[in-house]
Structure 1
Amino acid sequence: GIYGIAHGQFDAVKGAIVIDKADVSKSSVKAELDVGSIHTAFDQRDSDLKGPDFFNAAEFPTISFESTKVEKVDDKTGKVTGNLTISGVSKE
């Protein structure tokens, strides 16, 4: 693309991680990003990313993740599976 590799962040993020130590499978992860808060240090790129050709913030103001499964890998590691929704499309 015309921008090459770009780094940025969403300045408005909220979420929750719930860990059930007794039964890790009952744990959960949720996150929501405000698309309008995207910041790449380049105003035109930010505007393009918010626009209809990319994230379409006017119609889909948030990106979300919600876990569907949490598994224990070892004493310090877990595996989280879930659905990521971007621009109204959800994928595992």
Structure 2
Amino acid sequence: MKKIFAGVALGGLMALSGSLYAADYQIDKEGQHAFINFKTGHMGFSMLHGRFNDFDGTFSWDAENPENSKVNVTINTASVDSNHAERDKHLRSDDFLNVAKHPQATFVSTGVEVTGENTAKVTGDFTFNGVTKPVVIDARFVGEGDDPWGGYRAGFEGTTSIKLADYDVSMDLGPASAVVELDLTIEGIRQ
């Protein structure tokens, strides 16, 4: 990742003829170039897949010092979409997402550890159902560059998992359903 960021830094110097700086990005929610997907076991019989359709956030990263990067995301939990209206209604209830009491979940990074040429572990505080716990996202740099509309974009993907019991989720569908895996694709537009 440091080699990639070093190449990006050199390209930025050539393009901007200025000094390196931490770039701030707005997650491209409007263009639907970012996704928060999830999956969990359904009582040991199958896998349930879904996503959150409404979220927003920002990230910044420093090409010279990627460990100084930051991420901040807010998810509107009522936007859960598992492609089944009745199930989504149940997921919004106090059995699971408890959206009436806690309409948002948030992730605020607390650190970034570079683990390879284009990989890192992003540590942060995840708040869900009124409970805040540390999580680690295994992240991968996807790419960056100019877009056709005069902007500049950077993208990452990541994975993490959470135990529902850690966040006071009251519904227990057995061991196969105890953990939710999150699959994240984040594309941002430089501000």
Q: Report the secondary structure of 1:74's partner residue.
A: coil
Larger Rg: 2
Listed as ranges, the matches of 1:1-92 within 5 Å are 1=43, 4-92=46-134
Q: Report the secondary structure of 2:124's partner residue.
A: strand
| Separation of aligned partners in 1, 2:59 and 2:73 | 9
What's the CA shift for 1:67?
0.6
| Separation of aligned partners in 2, 1:40 and 1:31 | 21
| Separation of aligned partners in 1, 2:65 and 2:124 | 18
Q: TM-score w.r.t. structure 1 length?
A: 0.89
| Separation of aligned partners in 2, 1:60 and 1:53 | 12
| Separation of aligned partners in 1, 2:47 and 2:114 | 34
Q: Deviations over 1:42-70 (max 9, x none)?
A: 11110111111111101100111111101
Q: Report the secondary structure of 1:45's partner residue.
A: helix
The size of the alignment, in residue pairs, is 91
What's the CA shift for 1:74?
2.6
Unaligned runs of 5+ in 2: 1-42, 135-191
Q: TM-score w.r.t. structure 2 length?
A: 0.45
Task: Please say which of residues 11-20 and 72-81 is displaced more in the overlay.
Answer: 72-81
Q: CA RMSD in A?
A: 1.5
Name the one with the larger strand percent: 2
The percentage of aligned residue pairs carrying the same residue is: 33
What's the CA shift for 1:31?
1.1
| Separation of aligned partners in 1, 2:106 and 2:66 | 22
Unaligned runs of 5+ in 1: none
Q: Report the secondary structure of 1:36's partner residue.
A: helix
Amino acid of the residue matched to residue 39 of structure 1?
A: D
What's the CA shift for 1:4?
4.8
